[in-house]
Amino acid sequence: MSLFKGSPYRRQDLEAGGGRRSGGFDDDDDAGEASSGPFDIGSTKHIPIERLRRWRQAALVLNASRRFRYTLDLKKEEDRKQTIRKIRAHAQVIRAAYLFKEAGDQANGTPLSLPIPSGDYGIGQDVLASMTRDHDTNALQQYNGVKGLSELLKTNLEKGIHGDDDDLIRRKNIFGSNTYPRKKGRSFWMFLWEAWQDLTLIILMVAAVASLALGIKTEGIKEGWYDGGSIAFAVILVIVVTAISDYRQSLQFQSLNDEKRNIHMEVIRGGRRVEVSIFDIVVGDVVPLNIGNQVPADGILILGHSLSIDESSMTGESKIVHKDSRAPFLMAGCKVADGSGTMLVTSVGINTEWGLLMASISEDTGEETPLQVRLNGVATFIGIVGLLVALAVLVVLLARYFTGHTENSEETKKFIRGKTSVSDAVDGAIKIVTVAVTIVVVAVPEGLPLAVTLTLAYSMRKMMADKALVRRLSACETMGSSTTICSDKTGTLTLNQMTVVEAYAGGRKIKPPDKGSLLSSMLSSLLIEGIAQNTTGSVFIPESGGDVEVSGSPTEKAILNWGIKIGMDFEAVRSGSSILYVFPFNSEKKRGGVAVQLPDSQVHVHWKGAAEIVLASCTRYINENDNVVPMTEDKVIFFKKAIEDMAASSLRCVAIAYRSYEIEKVPTDEEQLAQWVLPEDDLVLLAIVGIKDPCRPGVREAVQLCQKAGVKVRMVTGDNLQTAKAIALECGILGSDADATEPNLIEGKSFRALSESQRQEIADKISVMGRSSPNDKLLLVQALKRKGHVVAVTGDGTNDAPALHEADIGLAMGIQGTEVAKESSDIIILDDNFASVVKVVRWGRSVYANIQKFIQFQLTVNVAALIINVVAAVSSGNVPLNAVQLLWVNLIMDTLGALALATEPPTDHLMHRPPVGRRVFNQLMEPLITNIMWRNLLIQALYQVSVLLVLNFRGRSILNLEHKTLPAASKEKNTVIFNAFVLCQIFNEFNARKPDEVNVFKGVTTNRLFMGIVGITLALQIVIIEFLGKFTSTVRLNWPLWIVCAVIGFISWPLAAIGKLIPVPKTPLGEFFTRKFRRKQDSQNS
């Protein structure tokens, strides 16, 4: 959850009211944005609330509750923050009161009450919850500490609970499950109610009721209800279809949110580490905690090594709290900032403060996306034009009507002063108002911004199948604009299936590397001790026999497996000495260490890490005769050469070393021990191993696909530069050895040492960065963003959080990624595979392309419908498309059109065009409506307007209707216009699928939803014309006229194909007019 005040390990999300934008580029960007239009938002990732409020106020909106449904609810956000503050304050007051009471009890010597048994267990949930919540160390001591508590909960502190089904059910029944009640999502009726809120639809309903009343009064109930009833039915149909579409979207978002909450964690059950959902954790579970993990429930520390917890999510304070035996209480929802340890779970779900907090706030899934904001700008502009047109039509029609210039189908005046009854005059005026309001309904594309949400919801669901879980809506579309991807090596470009394939020990190469008999006894003993003790992994040997189970990170597993092969008994070594202090692996120092005390009181300090770094700290090594001898210069050269050879073979090189230490120098006080700096000099080298991690199949093709698409792939890894180079050549990130020179290939410390301007200068050229720290990754991201790149970054570690947060799109790894990394990310790659990252790029581009298709389709309908009705109204006082017909057109154009075009799957063609990119200084990003789209829509709109206006004014003679009476001919002509107009839209829907390709039918049969919607639209149109004439003021058409309508629609296909041969200028149309305006201004100024 990203609901709370941030810490150094937590990103400050948009949902938390935005955060400080780091880096000079962002500050410049903000300055630029402040002076730009309200809809000109390049990124919404760290945007201030005020900017969000600004674009909402600028938008022309008919139905605010629907338009802003999937944007952040600014009022609810404030209310939620207030609720969180109240709950935190309440919890702190209770804790303070308890401490006051405890101090009083101690002064009076009041004894602690004994625990109340609960079922099969020696302690109840209420006692556990209050002890943990109040951080009551006295109560914990009364129960003999964590060991006594574990006995009451029937838990073995080393092996955990039994973990069989009966045990888990019993614990859940007595202590509760690790879930909390969530507020129900909105029902279908709520969506139906929201769809009613549209101002224009309300006006139409009022007009329908008035028309109904007047019709029944003048013509009787049998005939008089048709006009008003048909408008009311059309409005209800629009509302119901809108509500169904919106409700289905909300269900998709709900299921995706449930997936986001389902964190997987390791627990120890029956002596083995097993991965379970956070919702399946029970009281009594023993949970290993490592850096970046989320604390899954309230609990008590069993054993910790330099364990520091980020409690900002619960306290609101950006303070890292050290945990040890004096401060052993852990709160659910917090993050492990540093170190490692194990905890005993004492409270779960609603019995924790986190559970109470989560149950009391509703999660707002709303969030702006840049495209959504830009589309609101487009919708506002079109809406204003539509309103002006509707107003003009209203004024012209009313003026013509009341001055006696409007004639009915018998060519007699509709209004004659002094002769026309009041009810007839009012009825005529209502029909005019209805037409004008319906023009507003068609003109204001209320569904345009919602089409983004529709296509995003569709894409997010499909991306789940492609192993990508989207955490932030905007990341979907931003990924399509990415110009560079900074990727990790291990597990993303490689398989993360590591094995030791080469080893150097005893001053020589060991062949084969896993033959323990080649190692001398002292070397073997020390090496096995270092492998077993200096690890966060574990080895489980089933009592019933079977394969040994090794858990931990891939590197840890590879070294533990190698240790087993050379004769390591993991449990025996671990129990044979005690750990004094642990220095967890640090990505800055590239090594981790441990101090252990042997039974004879000797202290050994073991180190393991990047081979060349550990080697630099070694002054001695153990030779093949089991003697500790000085590290001569020849031996240093030998080992360095070994590291280079292994790295050149794309092996990860890890060195293992140790030193002895005087027990007298080891701090005895727990506080001093926590501050102890583990000695890292004068080490004795034990071994250097080369670990093979093969490239993922298909990664080379995925990298090439990115390069063709104009997306540069950069490898940023903590590994040796030579290893990075070898893998980069294998993956195709580097084309050849000739490319492997600075600055294409650079070491983290070299990049770090450059000035800001120098970093910015060479950032574009960097393809591989080796031995990089998380801060180097952050500096690279900032430099690339300043150059105008849209940067995607992959990361898995806690220290990657700043870079993931800073990047335009942060991609966390689902398997190896820590919770902190995932929380700082925008998308989680569930299979850690680079090919899945490329699929995300495809889907991102698909989102943008689909929205452009929908805009082209909708604007064509808008332009044609408005021009036809305006010209007809001004010239004759009548409109060929009435209110009911326009509402049906609106339904095709808005909801059904969005469903058909916004759900087009991505094609390979999308990866053959350059990315859209972002606004850089004075250069404009690609406009939403491109020149190609303007060409296509203007050709189609002009064709439709020309043909239908000719039919409107000359249709009677062209369609050979002169032999019919004027009213009958006029009705049939208008029916042909309406039918031809709708068929034009159905045919044009195919054209909109491929705005820049001649073959618009490519892949059409694979999109069943598109084919289904086109089929349904056509079937309903036939039903409307043939059977619902009374409602729509149409008549049945004979076959020749149906063929005429079909031919008019069909011509749009060859016309579109010919139109695509017309070249368009590269300069966007908007920029062309802007330049002309600037030149005019400049000439006036001069």
Mean pLDDT for 547-559 is 90
d(CA 532, CA 554): 15
d(CA 162, CA 176): 18
- Return the higher-pLDDT residue of 519 and 92: 519
Mean pLDDT for 533-558 is 87
At residue 299 the predicted structure's pLDDT band, cuts being 50, 70 and 90, is very high
pLDDT at 629 over 90: yes
Partner residues linked to 829 by β-bridges: 468, 813
Mean pLDDT for 242-261 is 76
Residues near 164 by Cβ (< 8 Å), separated by ≥ 6? none
pLDDT at 728 over 90: yes
d(CA 641, CA 634): 10
Question: pLDDT above 70 covers what percent of the chain?
Answer: 82
At residue 241 the predicted structure's pLDDT band, cuts being 50, 70 and 90, is confident
Q: How far is CA 697 from CA 492, 694, 706, 835, 985, in A?
A: 11, 9, 16, 9, 45
Put residue 406 in one of left, alpha, beta given phi > 0 → left and psi -120 to 50 → alpha. beta
DSSP letter string, 294-311:
BP-SEEEEEEEEEEEEE-
pLDDT at 5 over 60: no
DSSP letter string, 116-162:
PPBTTBSS-HHHHHHHHHTT-HHHHHHTTHHHHHHHHTT-BTTTBB-
Closest by CA to 921, choosing from 19, 50, 21, 31, is 31
Q: How far is CA 328 from CA 141, 142, 637, 867, in A?
A: 11, 15, 48, 74
Rounded to 10 deg, the angle between the 74-108 and 49-58 helix axes is: 150
Mean pLDDT for 678-696 is 94
pLDDT at 42 over 70: no
pLDDT at 802 over 60: yes
The runs of H, that is alpha helices, within 411-566 are 422-443, 447-465, 473-480, 521-533, 554-565
Partner residues linked to 622 by β-bridges: 628
**Could you identify the residue written with the tokens 């368009």?**
1064
| pLDDT of res. 720 | 87
C-alpha atoms less than 13 angstroms from C-alpha of 933 in its C-beta half-sphere: 22
Mean pLDDT for 942-957 is 92
Identify the DSSP state of 489.
S
Decide if 913 contacts 709 (C-beta within 8 A). Answer: yes
Q: How many CB atoms lie within 10 A of CB 631?
A: 18
d(CA 1072, CA 1074): 5
Q: How many CB atoms lie within 10 A of CB 414?
A: 19
pLDDT at 512 over 60: yes
pLDDT per residue over 121-174, tens digit each?
Answer: 888 888 888 888 888 888 888 888 999 999 999 999 989 998 888 999 999 999
List strand residue ranges (DSSP E) for 904-1027, in order.
Answer: none
d(CA 675, CA 661): 17
Closest by CA to 586, choosing from 602, 564, 609, 555, is 609
pLDDT per residue over 875-897, tens digit each?
Answer: 776 778 877 888 788 777 777 88
pLDDT at 495 over 90: no
Mean pLDDT for 654-677 is 89
**φ/ψ (deg, to 5) at 825:** -95, 170
- Name the burial class of residue 157, with classes exposed (0-12), middle (13-18) and buried (19+) by CB atoms within 10 angstroms of its CB: middle
d(CA 345, CA 478): 40
Closest by CA to 503, choosing from 515, 490, 495, 494, is 515
| pLDDT of res. 297 | 94
pLDDT at 113 over 90: no
Q: Are strands 508-510 and 499-505 parallel, antiparallel or unpaired?
A: antiparallel
d(CA 278, CA 292): 15
Identify the DSSP state of 483.
-
| pLDDT of res. 371 | 73
One-letter amino acid for residue 331 of the chain: M
Decide if 570 contacts 564 (C-beta within 8 A). Answer: yes
| pLDDT of res. 917 | 59
At residue 33 the predicted structure's pLDDT band, cuts being 50, 70 and 90, is very low
145-149, 246-250, 1042-1046: least confidently modelled range: 246-250
**φ/ψ (deg, to 5) at 703:** -65, -45
pLDDT at 1034 over 80: yes
C-alpha atoms less than 13 angstroms from C-alpha of 699 in its C-beta half-sphere: 25
pLDDT at 67 over 60: no
Mean pLDDT for 693-705 is 92
* Residue 482: both structure tokens together: 């990415």
pLDDT at 1062 over 80: yes
Q: Among the options 26, 285, 488, 826, which is catalytic?
A: 488
| pLDDT of res. 25 | 40
One-letter amino acid for residue 234 of the chain: A
Question: pLDDT above 90 covers what percent of the chain?
Answer: 36
Radius of gyration of the chain (CA): 36
Identify the DSSP state of 895.
I
Closest by CA to 827, choosing from 786, 795, 861, 868, is 795
Residues near 704 by Cβ (< 8 Å), separated by ≥ 6? 732
Decide if 477 contacts 456 (C-beta within 8 A). Answer: yes
8-12, 174-178, 271-275: least confidently modelled range: 8-12
Closest by CA to 896, choosing from 395, 237, 286, is 237
Helix (H, G, I), strand (E, B) or coil at 346: strand
614-628, 844-858, 902-916, 923-937: least confidently modelled range: 923-937
One-letter amino acid for residue 1039 of the chain: W
Q: H or E element: which one contains 579?
A: strand 578-586
- Return the higher-pLDDT residue of 1083 and 107: 1083
The runs of H, that is alpha helices, within 353-445 are 353-360, 370-402, 422-443
| pLDDT of res. 842 | 92
At residue 490 the predicted structure's pLDDT band, cuts being 50, 70 and 90, is confident
At residue 903 the predicted structure's pLDDT band, cuts being 50, 70 and 90, is confident
d(CA 150, CA 344): 8
Q: Go through 573-612 and write b for each residue having 16 or more CB atoms within 10 A of its CB, e for each that does not.
A: bbeebeebbbbbbebeebbbbbbbbeeeeebbbbbbbbbb
d(CA 341, CA 287): 9
At residue 996 the predicted structure's pLDDT band, cuts being 50, 70 and 90, is confident
Identify the DSSP state of 349.
G
Sign of the C-alpha dihedral computed for residues 217, 223, 226 and 229 taken in this order: positive
Q: Can 488 be counted among the known catalytic residues?
A: yes
Residues near 1038 by Cβ (< 8 Å), separated by ≥ 6? none
Partner residues linked to 793 by β-bridges: 486, 810
At residue 78 the predicted structure's pLDDT band, cuts being 50, 70 and 90, is low
One-letter amino acid for residue 947 of the chain: V
Q: How far is CA 1084 from CA 302, 1072, 1077, in A?
A: 79, 19, 11
pLDDT at 919 over 50: no
- Name the burial class of residue 674, with classes exposed (0-12), middle (13-18) and buried (19+) by CB atoms within 10 angstroms of its CB: middle
At residue 12 the predicted structure's pLDDT band, cuts being 50, 70 and 90, is very low
One-letter amino acid for residue 246 of the chain: D
Q: How many CB atoms lie within 10 A of CB 541?
A: 15
pLDDT at 94 over 60: no
Mean pLDDT of the chain: 82
Q: How many CB atoms lie within 10 A of CB 1070?
A: 14
DSSP letter string, 797-829:
SGGGHHHHHHSSEEEEETTT--HHHHHH-SEEE
Q: Model-level pTM?
A: 0.77
d(CA 794, CA 780): 13
| pLDDT of res. 19 | 33
pLDDT at 243 over 50: yes
With the CA atoms of 1065, 1071, 1073 and 1074 taken in that order, what torsion angle do they form, in degrees rounded to the nearest 10? -160
**N-to-C CA span, the chain:** 57
Mean pLDDT for 461-484 is 85
**Could you identify the residue written with the tokens 């307007």?**
945
**Could you identify the residue written with the tokens 């364990």?**
307
Sign of the C-alpha dihedral computed for residues 157, 160, 162 and 166 taken in this order: positive
